[in-house]
Structure 1
């Protein structure tokens, strides 16, 4: 390789190149954005359609089914699911990974446009939305301080919200929990009937009076004067005194027919902070913006607002940036510790400050160069990309160590520093290049991995690849150049007089001599060594049956959410009483720092369901990771057991890692039962609940079938109604207007627009008897009591009808505790095999199980492709099919070592663990490359095969042990999983540590033996 010679001869040029790298890397690091996870493209779109006044069955037949049939014909659709609830249809379309969602949603709109004319007349236009996990709320604030909620509402609405909306990266801000001012016009229905005027007529009158319109221009001398007609209401008294001309010719004012008041709208949501009433502000960022940067801007602005408004308290219920920064800092610190440990190992082996300094300089330059490549590739700093750094820190020094050790060996042989640098670097250039390219090559098959797995691990693969390529260039340029300048021309003693270094050197020399004896003995007992190796391999492989399998490890983010649901029809006050009991339970746990409550919020992730008085969420924020003695999962299980004693509501607990897109839902286990008859599905789902509950390790077992709230069906007596010209639509509209009200116009008061709402008096909806007496105006000019033209019946059905691929279904879900997902599902399957499903009814596992199967299928293909790629690269490097085959025998040994690591660490096999196996396929061959390459070099010099094997083993023992120990020790802090977010990288680190350790120990013996046996076969 001429590059090393060039670097040694032109040190100024190398310094200039490195200066440019440092400059670009520093700027890139400053500009790199931070997120918890890589930005994910979720190929899911939702069609939302409203058909008010219709029940789930009508919605299913008249709205959902036509839309399902239309969108199913769109190209690349993977699955279509739907939910039909009272007044609303939600159709979810999942596409295959890699689909262009902009084009897909355009196709969906085209297909829906074709069937819009066949939907019911009062149906709203179907709305198509893409699911964007990057647009989830990044911050939820709780504002408290005043007992007067209306005052806090005004502060939030008119002082806080505008200032936060102006910040760069903020997309939208929603406020809830306060009182909303409204002009309420409560109409006396009897007076309206007596004066022969309707609500619709009053609504039209208010809209036509409360208006300003341009009138054009007139000329006055040489000037043009603008004419405006002004009629907007300027005061509440003006509304009250609005003149109304009756059909009888009599004129009255609005106050004669109704009570006009400036009031507060009936509260629909309640927000609390630690049990105190508050206002809730939910902040969403723009999808392309960086979470941490936007959150930093928000926090700075909040501090300024807090200084200006000292009487209020603004507390963050949810702030994703805190965990992101903590997790990234933890991973960065872990990488730093790994680098320090690697440097210590290097110093112990080399025993020289100058040699350690060379590598110490090479590591940060390689990292800085990687930052530049990350920036121009659009990679963010997140748990996975920084996990690649932490994994790569130990490997970063491998190339440098091999080059440095070889240069140092030439230096000890009497060569000048200049010649030793050139000869030493060029001699191992091929082996370090081959080892680098094999490690990089194993990440190429990631391109064939599908689903969310590819989205998550693409950045990790790129980060490791960038860092290794940077370290290769640095090791072949900067390292030999520094050696030529720092080393003296006379021979140096490799060790200082430090007692610990002398002891270590003595110990290693003893190990080297012992290794030489073991290697000689092994070459004489080949069959026994092979037999022992096979026994170790089989034993290690059998441990795989004792460790579980899961999709993705959950991480301890220090918070959790309790979702509460009461039966349909429960009032806000009833829900609040249950929430108060939940808060008491949570306050008993000393590890919970803050409690944030939202009562009456919508229960859909897309906020398409509106507010629901029977639902609530309680967010609990825990003490920092270092201040508490128990994990979030253990706290959740304790809280779950305590909450199960509270009757009257169903509750479930979730964490941020269960709702970040790793599974299709927030539960670990999702069992979908499919069939047509809802009653039979209910029976089967209840049996399934009992089956799942009987499986060890399951928690919060429930189904998503919920009985709807009691309904009162008002059916028109058509024979009587038609006599008066009444239709169902006319009667339904009149009832809705009287009970719910009509927003007639907007009234500006103190510079703020508020709604003017017309509604019937309260007594009409406070009792059934009053409701029946509502007078319905008819086209013939008379009013008919409701009870005379309708029949009233009571009914109750499902709250929601769910379908998957146009077949009805009910999903039974559960969470797991202290058991792996696959083990729980295997037990559930065994029990379901004994259950007799009726004909036409089937079951299927969805959610994390489905993604787990897809991920492992793709990753298995990736592992196989990685092995073949490594083999082909080695074959091209050695120009032989035999030597790569010998080297590749270390790969299966590495896999079993990874299994041993997971077994002793008590970690299940997960997607990060399989990624670790892919990494192993690239790095465990490095030791074999260095060993086999030097054997061939020695044999080319005329040394006999056995002597060359023994000499190569003892000579390469030091660099092999150095590279192995630096990688292993560099990963130990990551494997300990201490700190926020470390659970994600721990399985990967454990697999690499276990695999590299076992393969290295066996490679030093087995690879030379296999070489001695197969070398005579010239392939």
Structure 2
């Protein structure tokens, strides 16, 4: 079949050129239509159920809300894990499903189950809402709205008014304009101050008129309503009648009738004041030390992030011209990172292709042949764009990384075709005969080589889980580009070689000519040394194999010295600082302290931007780390030329010297964090049980153990004490004595403490909340609460009973968060592993934890990052096994033998040993990417072995002595093997040496392939002939 394609391409050159021209046009069209993103679109198999319970303690939420919902959802099909965290005011339940689950159908099933148990939830629980986790659901751009007025206020009141004005501009002007952009799905506004109507009841006047809080609340609600009045007839026409009863302004609120006494009406203004004010802020957004309004922009799924961001920039420029007093400043732009990361991969791809072709000039010593061979690279890549576009793959660092990985391999087939065609020309064949017969002779070996490499990547398409979902794009791009390079080599390259003498002297290119002379001299010297070494090894086969086995054992021993991690850390030039003050700290104190931290950060020349979120802001993306008045998150943008690790070290030093608060530094959440459970550390210890007191005691002992072990740092405890509070217990006996309903008493206390929001006032195009509170001369404290009096109506008079006679008030200790896993109470102790191997650390901790006294119903689970990594490595191991079987099958079919494939793949174990040595030498870690590189190496490293074994076997079958066949193969196949290896290595070298954005993802894979291929090729030249002579020396297979 390949030979027929070659003959047809050589016989019909015009048709061949036209077909490839059409394919190039299709590829270029696809190139301009494809979107750009950092990573592929991967659907996360997770849902979260959020239930808000304002003013309720964590323990009550855990017992009455979280447990109820978990019981209802535990029977869902395809559910893998269920985790929950209950905090004051909120319950979050995280559901993880298997990768074959239909998330749209699962969403509907979860909604149905929640609706069925709604009546079982307590009254204080709001309707549960379902959140979908999607890596693309994070904002791709954050904008800050500021202006002249807020930067130069004339008074505190003017400053607050400026914040309100900024928010109005953001919501009424900026937000609608941005949401009109193609590609922007939503723009959310956060920060600033919000207006409200504050109605303050005078308690003494209420007592005089006999008016209660509930009377005022009911009146405000009752008199603020529109209603349909039916229709009226006017002549022959019918008109709808609308009765307008809503409040038009604050004066309408003041005139609301509350109660009628002795034919006299008590209006709200008689017992209360109504005025405009501002809602009490629960948090602040700040940019470089200044309060600001923040807009979060979300992208539509599948749209081009970079193009969408450019459109946003155009709209912002237009808004600046229209509203010169206001400015919209980008805080964070994901498209910048994406563009730089993609440009970095493209640059590596270009330079890799350049070096690969340059090597051809030095080896081949003319300029026409390398150009013909070099056509395989751009043609294969451009046509691959059409394949990617047709199946919905966009440009990202994974798909482009696949092309960059294959850049040096794409010329391998063309090199072998060229080398064989030139050999036929030297034997006296015509140009057409040499092109057809030379290609025919190597078509099956290069097809086998290509398919062995393809067989490594193809199983990735079928793997379930994150490994398969994440690297589907890379598998397709590599498979497509390698298959196309094979097609180009046996058709277009052969046709061009048949059209004329491909040789063209390099005499005019003096530099390349001299370099070529030097390369030839080195090659001849290497050839002589190789022949002598091979002869010695063939004479001492047993000693050679023993030496190689010993060297392999020494190489494997280095594995214990190689660090492990799940994925390489990508430097995004951003750092996140988490600041936490004592649990009872007020928001204003937190704000003041954060302002001082911002000044310190702003003085660092390596930090460009400081963005702070203090307290609880309008938008809270990560409910598992719910902030509070005592917490703040500060995100800093690092200058491009600065060292992020050095900045992080300075900030960590600042945290160690901090007094009055805790400061931790971390990288911003990465794409992969969407796939793993919330609050996972490098190393986790989970204690499971049913009694929170017992769990707390045992977990404190574990915390002490880990803090004393030098392997761990930043030990965190999920059950850390919260602010606690006061518990009000109603004395039901005394309440019954006075005829008081306990529920009404609880409602009375709740209104006294936090007021209520009975209605809203229409203010132009938006609704302004009306807040009803009791006016106080002093802040409501514990003693003030005790002095309150509960009104009891008896016939014509109202009797007031002191609250302290009806209730008892006592303090209670609270926890910051209560965790559960698979319906069992859990306490998590997390830490960062800073020294040694995770497996050894786990063993030591297990031994230490076994000495801790604990009740029988508490059990421990000790895990590490290796557990998540192990699941992904298991998938890759399966891929390796399947790939190994496919390679064996291809080789067995190629050689029609079950013995020779073992000779060819004997180099694979040696290649894996070389991987370990490479990781150790380059300082890379064993992670998913480096493991992926090892899998790729298996498909590449056998190619040279196939070429060599095929040549030896053919000469041996033709009657040549085995030793002579091996020697001839060494002479005639060393050059093409060296060329293919050097082009592959140099093609990957720019990717390995890259220091741009996102380079960390590809460096481990590139180094593994470079080092493994270089070392394994050297061993292949010795090991394969030795093993072949042992296995096939007595028979002609």
Q: Shorter-normalised TM-score: what interval?
A: over 0.9
Q: Out of 944, 964, 985, which is 1:947 matched to?
A: 964
Q: Out of 79, 102, 105, which is 2:104 matched to?
A: 102
Q: Out of 557, 563, 581, which is 1:542 matched to?
A: 557
8 A Cα contact 2:219 2:257, kept in partner: no
Deviation at 1:977, TM superposition (A): 4.3
- Shifted more, 358-367 versus 598-607: the winner is 598-607
Q: Out of 585, 588, 592, which is 2:607 matched to?
A: 592
Q: Out of 1005, 1011, 1015, which is 1:988 matched to?
A: 1005
Deviation at 1:66, TM superposition (A): 2.4
Aligned-residue CA RMSD in angstroms?
Answer: 2.6
Matched, 1:511 2:526: yes
* 1:589-622, Cα deviation, whole Å (9 max, x unpaired): 3311111111013696444887621221100100
Deviation at 1:805, TM superposition (A): 1.9
> Counterparts of 1:778-797 in structure 2 under 5 Å?
778=792, 780=794, 782=798, 783-797=800-814
Q: Out of 643, 664, 669, which is 2:655 matched to?
A: 643
SS in 1 for 2:401: helix
Q: Out of 612, 623, 631, which is 1:615 matched to?
A: 631
Deviation at 1:765, TM superposition (A): 4.1
Q: Which residue of 2 aligns with 1:527?
A: 542
- Shifted more, 423-432 versus 142-151: the winner is 142-151
TM-score, normalised with respect to structure 1 = 0.94
Deviation at 1:843, TM superposition (A): 2.5
Change (3 A) 1:967 1:252: same
SS in 1 for 2:266: strand
Deviation at 1:302, TM superposition (A): 2.1
Change (3 A) 1:634 1:838: farther
Instruction: Write the distance in 1 (CA, Å) between the matches of 2:396 and 2:111.
Output: 35
Deviation at 1:924, TM superposition (A): 0.5
Q: Which residue of 1 aligns with 2:156?
A: none
Deviation at 1:73, TM superposition (A): 1.4
* 1:7-26, Cα deviation, whole Å (9 max, x unpaired): 11112222222122212211
Instruction: Write the distance in 2 (CA, Å) between the matches of 1:242 and 1:121.
Output: 30
Change (3 A) 1:304 1:576: same
8 A Cα contact 1:170 1:294, kept in partner: yes
Deviation at 1:392, TM superposition (A): 0.8
8 A Cα contact 2:351 2:990, kept in partner: yes
Q: Out of 879, 885, 907, which is 2:896 matched to?
A: 879
Change (3 A) 1:239 1:121: closer
8 A Cα contact 2:842 2:863, kept in partner: no
SS in 1 for 2:969: helix
Matched, 1:552 2:567: yes
- Shifted more, 768-777 versus 751-760: the winner is 768-777
Matched, 1:80 2:82: yes
Change (3 A) 1:794 1:694: closer
Q: Which residue of 2 aligns with 1:91?
A: 93
8 A Cα contact 1:193 1:775, kept in partner: no
Structure 2, gaps ≥5 residues long: 151-161
- Shifted more, 169-178 versus 435-444: the winner is 169-178
Instruction: Write the distance in 2 (CA, Å) between the matches of 1:180 and 1:292.
Output: 34
Instruction: Write the distance in 2 (CA, Å) between the matches of 1:648 and 1:339.
Output: 57
Q: Out of 138, 150, 154, which is 1:136 matched to?
A: 138
8 A Cα contact 2:712 2:835, kept in partner: no
Instruction: Write the distance in 2 (CA, Å) between the matches of 1:486 and 1:733.
Output: 96
> Counterparts of 1:419-568 in structure 2 under 5 Å?
419-446=433-460, 449-487=463-501, 498-568=513-583
- Shifted more, 826-835 versus 380-389: the winner is 826-835
SS in 2 for 1:103: helix
* 1:501-529, Cα deviation, whole Å (9 max, x unpaired): 22222321332233233323332222232
Change (3 A) 1:814 1:613: same
Change (3 A) 1:725 1:608: farther
Change (3 A) 1:108 1:588: same
Instruction: Write the distance in 1 (CA, Å) between the matches of 2:261 and 2:939.
Output: 90
* 1:643-699, Cα deviation, whole Å (9 max, x unpaired): 122122233222135564264346322222223332333333333333333444643
Change (3 A) 1:903 1:83: same
Instruction: Write the distance in 1 (CA, Å) between the matches of 2:1016 and 2:361.
Output: 24
Instruction: Write the distance in 2 (CA, Å) between the matches of 1:413 and 1:311.
Output: 82
Deviation at 1:784, TM superposition (A): 3.9
- Shifted more, 855-864 versus 552-561: the winner is 855-864
SS in 1 for 2:410: helix
8 A Cα contact 1:890 1:924, kept in partner: yes
Deviation at 1:342, TM superposition (A): 0.6
Q: Which residue of 2 aligns with 1:1005?
A: 1022
> Counterparts of 1:296-335 in structure 2 under 5 Å?
296-335=310-349
8 A Cα contact 2:904 2:945, kept in partner: yes
Change (3 A) 1:11 1:829: farther
Q: Which residue of 2 aligns with 1:704?
A: 718
Matched, 1:70 2:83: no
Q: Which residue of 2 aligns with 1:569?
A: 584
Q: Which residue of 2 aligns with 1:192?
A: 206
Q: Which residue of 2 aligns with 1:49?
A: 51
SS in 2 for 1:924: helix
Instruction: Write the distance in 2 (CA, Å) between the matches of 1:1006 and 1:96.
Output: 44
Instruction: Write the distance in 1 (CA, Å) between the matches of 2:183 and 2:549.
Output: 59
Instruction: Write the distance in 2 (CA, Å) between the matches of 1:421 and 1:249.
Output: 114
Q: Which residue of 2 aligns with 1:664?
A: 677
TM-score, normalised with respect to structure 2 = 0.93
Instruction: Write the distance in 2 (CA, Å) between the matches of 1:659 and 1:821.
Output: 23
- Shifted more, 958-967 versus 73-82: the winner is 73-82
Deviation at 1:982, TM superposition (A): 0.8
8 A Cα contact 1:566 1:648, kept in partner: yes
SS in 2 for 1:89: strand
8 A Cα contact 2:838 2:864, kept in partner: no
8 A Cα contact 1:902 1:908, kept in partner: yes
SS in 2 for 1:644: helix
Deviation at 1:832, TM superposition (A): 4.0
